[in-house]
Structure 1
Amino acid sequence: MNTYFQSFCVYLSKVENLKKNSLDAYSRDISLLMRFCEEQDINDWESITPGIIHDYVKMLQQNEKSNATINRHLASQRRFFRYLVQEGVITTAPEQHMERPKVERKQIEVLSKDQIEQLFLKIDRRSVAGLRDLIMLRLLYESGIKVSELIGLDVRDLNLKGRYLVATENDSTRTVYYSRETSKYLKKYFQLREGFDAVNEDMPLFINCYQTRLSRQGFWKTLKRTAVKADIEQSITPHTLRHSFAVHQLQNGVQLKTLQSMLGHSDIASTQVYENFLESRIV
């Protein structure tokens, strides 16, 4: 089983060009499925039936995994089994008729424009790390980029002259734009960043003190510390800035269809959440 799992990971990396965060997520999900199958004395992918997948989902539920997490596991399986069908290992995917648990939408959290400005002001931009944090916060709010896309950016994804980024998630890419002021901070960040090489396109755009890619958890901690300094009492996450971007764009008169494209939503129903939010309260 492990042989096909490893070849799948290579396929995602070399053929699909997935970023490390996405690769790690697929690896964790399929590894857990493999361990579950081995515990059931199943040693090849051909022996996995819809009943096994059903039992696997029950195991996740017993371990108090959320419906959103279970759906992510099923999505990982769907892609993996599609690969096995493509390679001729199996003829049909055992999870294809599995019903997905319903996920209740959480109430979105949005910051006011004044709160956003306070976040920016509370960052010490005299250091390389401070400049990095300011740029990342500004990009989240100015472009609506997802934090997973932001963390996964490499040097090749940045176009300073055109003031845009190529954001990648799974097998889809989109172009997001940022302001002249953020462009100014980016140029200064590169000037001060130790070991920066614009020619090395594989270099992570945002790094930590160990010169490796900044993690999502590391950035989240920075955001929480900055929120405390800015006297923001509500609980916020990087996604709060994306929500704020969407709501403020609608307030500025951007059309829903345009916002859908800016956010990279495949279904406009996902974008309509922000329109409904505005109708229910004043931000």
Structure 2
Amino acid sequence: MDAYIFSLETIMTIGYGAPTDDIFYGGCTSIATLLTLESFAGIILDSVCIGIFYARFSRANTCERRKHQLVEAHVRLYAVRHEAEDDADEPNDFLFQCHQMRVQQPDDDCGAMLLMVLPQVVVHRIDQWSPLFPPECLPRDGGDPKTCASYPDPTQRQVDIDNGSRDGGLPGDPKLYKEPTKMQIMNHIRKSGLEVVVILEGIDSSTSNTMQARNSYTDEDIAWDATFERCVIKTSRGLCIDFDRFHLLKPAPLDAKRCVMSSQF
């Protein structure tokens, strides 16, 4: 028992003995048990306190606007559609299918890379390969995989055909699909319970740790015919980002190409 008390006092660095000449407490079993329990309680208390302080100071707050930028940031878009199967036995039998959404800006063929120095606008074009495209506007026979979506063929982009970087028909060729209206797109998103998931990934320049940020948008989160307010202001010291206007929206102009350019600078 003396050896156990001596080893416990040594490893826990709690000091030897008491205000007596006997540093081993006379080999008392009760004292040895009490020292052991108090030592474990001290370890647990230290761990809890350190964990609380670490969690508090490492958690980001709304008021914190640090200048640490994300390096090699890139974005991915996915759409989850809750579709009812035609041959389902139960009325509540749904097929939860995840679809990839091609990104036009930044170009996902180049990795959809983002330079997070200034606010960035991510553009997904609702073409015939987009999961946001109403199915009633697609050909009934499924069509050609080169000109419209056909599961499980890879998802294409209409912009690649428009700029001539991919075969898929000439500009004057008749379209096999119908151009959807805004109301058709809205009804499709609402009917299918579509949810858009945006994943942003990058490297923290201060710690070199990889971080991910995920956001999801449903029908209630989508603002139609709107664009972002100007949040980048040019001052005598350079460009300044007004984060109080970061999420503000305004009516979008008829020319979609002017939406992005005029909203940021």
Q: TM-score range by the shorter chain?
A: under 0.3
Q: Which of structures 1 and 2 has the bigger CA Rg?
A: 2
TM-score by length of 1: 0.21
- Between 1 and 2, higher relative CO (CA 8 Å, sep ≥ 6) is seen in 1
Q: Which has the higher strand share?
A: 2
* TM-score, scaled to structure 2: 0.22
